[in-house]
Amino acid sequence: MISIIQAAGWPIWPLIACSVLALALIIERFVSLKTARVAPPKLLDEALTVSRASVPSADVVSQLEQNSALGEVLASGFRALNSNPRCSEADLRASMEGAGRAVAHRLERYLAALATIASAAPLLGLLGTVIGMIEIFGSQAPGSSGLGSATNPAQLAHGISVALYNTAFGLIVAIPSLIFWRYFRARVDGYLLTMELSSERFVRHLNTLRAR
């Protein structure tokens, strides 16, 4: 590996930094976007059950809020109803939509950085290719006889190595980054749809509590 880095020259270092950053972002998103931390499947039914007769206590609402991202959205509806038992449906929706926007922003965190790496890595690889080509042309030294040019084989080989290694490494970094960005993007969109549908059902439930 060290020999490859040496053969690729200094242009590969930005690509290595991008690969380390992309790996860290992918691991972080895998941990943060677990279903149990975002939208547990049975959480809505549990929230409906505990509030079948009345709005639960503040302790129960706090536990719901700390449970997951979906719990945070549902808890915002409980808090709005606790603060004003006669609040309108529009107020309930506004409270939950505000919490939903904050959750959506948190779920989408770092996805833009991962997409940027996927876009920038091939360009960094192309930069290394151009630098390698410059070194190749720089290896052409004027012949002593003036009848042509004499090639420096070592410099020529180094220029080719820089060009090819950087092109390959740029693609190696970009392709997984793009795949995982699309995967996480689809996963976040699915979570947001789940929370939107759950919130709609929960608002109707809160309306029945408000009318009592």
pLDDT tens, 172-190? 999 999 999 999 999 999 9
Confidence category of residue 139, pLDDT binned at 50, 70, 90: low
- Contact between residue 18 and residue 124 where contact means Cβ atoms under 8 Å apart: yes
Element (H, E) at 81: helix 69-83
Q: Which two tokens stand for residue 134?
A: 């410059």
Find the domain containing 192 and state its range. 2-211
Q: For residue 162, which amino acid is it?
A: V
Which pLDDT tens digit goes with each residue over 48-59? 998 888 888 889
> Does the pTM exceed 0.85?
no
- Tell me which residue of 166, 141, 173, 172 sits closest to 155, measured CA to CA: 141
14-31, pLDDT tens digit by residue? 999 999 999 999 999 999
Q: Is the pLDDT of residue 106 over 60?
A: yes
Please give the tally of structural domains in the chain: 1
